[in-house]
Chain A
Amino acid sequence: MRTPRPWPAMIAGALVTALILAPLGAVALRGGGLARLGPAELSALWFTLWQAVVSAGLSCLIAVPVARALHRRRFPGRRALITALGAPFILPTVVAVMGLVAVFGRRGIVNAGLGAAGLPEVSIYGAQGVILAHVFFNLPLATRMVLQGWQAIPAERLRLAASLGMGPGPVQRHLEIPMLRAVLPGAFLAIFLVCLGSFAIALILGGGPRATTLELAIYQAFRFDFDLARAAALGLTQVALTLAALGFARLIARAPGFGAGLDRAPVAGLGTGPGLCAHDTAAILAAALFLMTPIALVLIRGLPALPDLPPLIWRASANSLAVALASTVLTLVLALPLALATPRHPLAEAAGMLPLAASGLVLGTGLFLLARPFVSPTDLALPLTFVLNAVLSLPFVLRLLVPEVRNLAADYDRLSNSLGLSGLTRLRRITLPRLARPLGFGAGLAAAFSMGDLGVIALFGNGDRITLPLALYQLMGAYRMDQAAAAACLLIALSFALFALFDRIGHHAQPR
């Protein structure tokens, strides 16, 4: 029987593997092992680790009461609020940090309130700021995961609990705590991994000997000292750390089985009582306030200043759009053949997941080491951002596509084969239409990520070879806060528009 070799997937897999392993190899050679790690590098390693533990822990801790409240209560706008919990995936990091500065910064509203009450100021700069921003970004993720856990508790069991006259205490002990024990480790590890690779947040809010992450240290070694050996050694440490965390996550990974949940109304008789109700209301209000105020402040400040944006911002926006669109196309071109090959060739998925092991800054450093004899760093800025953004989005798009590809294969492979459908006709008539929705959603996420990312561009960007997030960061650094807020509004608008555009295309292209 004929099983054609999946050439497109083999080429895509080889390309991704080369794009990850070649720079990592260059970094490993140049870094010369871990011997070069001095006290500054070790303290960056230490900070990276403990801030990730604290950020993930706090996010999970706060997520529990918020998710429980969202699960127990029904109120107008609840659906919208849960949908809004997905927004941080699209929201550019720089914008959120800017909003947090507007709330918690020296001239922020919190310090204004504290000053009026005669209390001492709080500072957002330093470890506490980095952690605050991480919680801001990851609390929604944790809340969604825990909420799904709650929704996955079968209603039958809650009914049984109610019929046995269990109060909140026993329900907690017999149903909720076991659920949390199953859900929270996964949520903690997912957030821990995100925080390990934190760069933009540490760049703006951290720094100094006590709040520098490994990623930030790579940037400083590269950009300020141009000490490539040190950047490479740090990069190697970062990769080792990520691999260790990924391995650990695999070890304790439990069978999934939480799914989307049915979002049934809670069983009457559980969690009533005025005390609980006040408690839940407070949790929901506090979370909504914490998550929405920063963005609202950026919008309020930025929208009026939109007409005053300097020309460089428009230039940077055009760069960002071009980079985002190109990298989205590349992500899809890599992801689709790999996803389609996955049911028969598990190695295809493994190749697509490789980018999880490396960060943009590590890859950027490595690719620069390779390309250095031939080109100047500034020339690399936009092309490298385009390629690396595409590769870094790949694992996430692949994760969206693979289950859908498996369903498609289970449902229609035999029919397609029995009718002799193959090659481009099959791709155009069957595969693409059936996968349009996840492709559109994945493309939207990839485009928004690429649009809003402040990563590898920070290593190389210069002059007018910059992206909008980098231009925004430069405006903030120059304390032109009105213009920065206006640029932030533009960045939010472009990121959400790109996401919505691709998602909409997917919805329209997939016929029912």
Chain B
Amino acid sequence: MLSLDNLRIEQGDFRLSADLAIAAGARCALIGPSGAGKSTLLGTIAGFLPPTRGRILWQGQDLTAIPPGARPLSILFQDQNLFPHLSVTQNLGLGLDPKLRLTPDDRAQIEGALARVGLANLGLRKPAELSGGQQSRVALARCLLRARPILLLDEPFAALGPALKSDMLALVAEIAAEQGTTVLMVSHDPADARALCPETVLVAEGTAHPPQPTGALLDTPPPALASYLGS
């Protein structure tokens, strides 16, 4: 279980509190007006922004003081998920060993992960030689290799077209189901939330609310969400 225990985030005028729990293996969307703090909340869980008070717990272990790379999670950002000067293999290798000392076994694993996301034999390419969709797949393959129990998605597929985006979301769902990963996904598109996430955390007016069933929440939205959805 991922618990946000009495968490409070403050940044200048910005305030957000969260006191909620997400079950292990759940897939949960974060929905709310822009500027409400969805990305900030993910950033705090990932360890980029210390909370002013409260704790972040995973299976009872306090993560709050652990540096980002050592937390039991992987995160995909909106952009800059790959180092442009490293090859695909090296970018994936960073997920296995940050010092990039790759054993033959590591290389085999990397090939396997590439094949799993449909990019077999592209390991020598640089990210710039791949399409946007392929770059997303590489980043996702790295999460696959790191095999951390939590996956945070900060709209990594926002720049892809609708068809590519739903392909990627389906791939995320598959991989998450295989590895039993807990997924937290920031979304601007209610359809994405419905498609991938049975549960949704509403982030609005300074509060991240406990997860609710996505369908019910979107069908009868509270006022703050209704005005955002425009329904």
Contact = CB atoms under 8 A, between A and B. Distances in A.
A411 B95 CA distance: 18
Chain A residues touching B, majority SS: helix
B64 to A, nearest CB: 8
Interface string B64-92: 01011110001101001101111000000
B80 A412 contact: yes
A1 B50 contact: yes
Interface residues of A, number: 20
Nearest to A419: B94
A425 B83 contact: no
Contacts of A511: 84-85, 126
Contacts of B99: 425
B59 to A, nearest CB: 20
A439 to B, nearest CB: 14
A415 B83 contact: yes
- Interface of chain B: mostly helix, strand, loop or mixed: loop
A418 B83 contact: no
A418 B74 contact: yes
Given A430-B83, A510-B85, A420 B67 contact: yes
From A2, A414, A417, A425, residue with most partner B Cβ within 10 Å: A414
A411 B79 CA distance: 9
A512 B126 contact: yes
A420 B69 contact: yes
Interface string A396-430: 00000000000000011011011111100100011
A11 to B, nearest CB: 24
Contact of B67 (A417, A430, A512): A417
B80 A415 contact: yes
A420 B142 CA distance: 13
A430 B99 CA distance: 11
B14 interface: no
Interface string A474-512: 000000000000000000000000000000000000111
Interface string A423-441: 0010001100110000000
B98 A419 contact: yes
Contacts of A414: 43, 46, 48, 68, 77, 80
A362 B158 CA distance: 58
Contact of A418 (B50, B69, B86, B126): B69
B37 interface: no
A419 B86 CA distance: 14
B120 interface: no
A372 to B, nearest CB: 49
Interface in A231-275: none
B32 interface: no
Given A411-B80, A421-B94, A425-B100, A1 B67 contact: yes
Interface of B: 43, 46-48, 50, 65, 67-70, 74-75, 77, 80-81, 83-86, 94-95, 98-100, 126, 128
Given A1-B65, A420-B69, A433-B85, 17 more contacts: A1-B47, A414-B80, A415-B77, A415-B80, A415-B81, A417-B48, A417-B67, A417-B68, A417-B69, A418-B48, A420-B67, A420-B70, A421-B94, A425-B98, A429-B86, A511-B126, A512-B126
Q: Which 5 A-B pairs have the closest CB atoms?
A: A420-B69, A511-B85, A417-B68, A425-B99, A1-B50
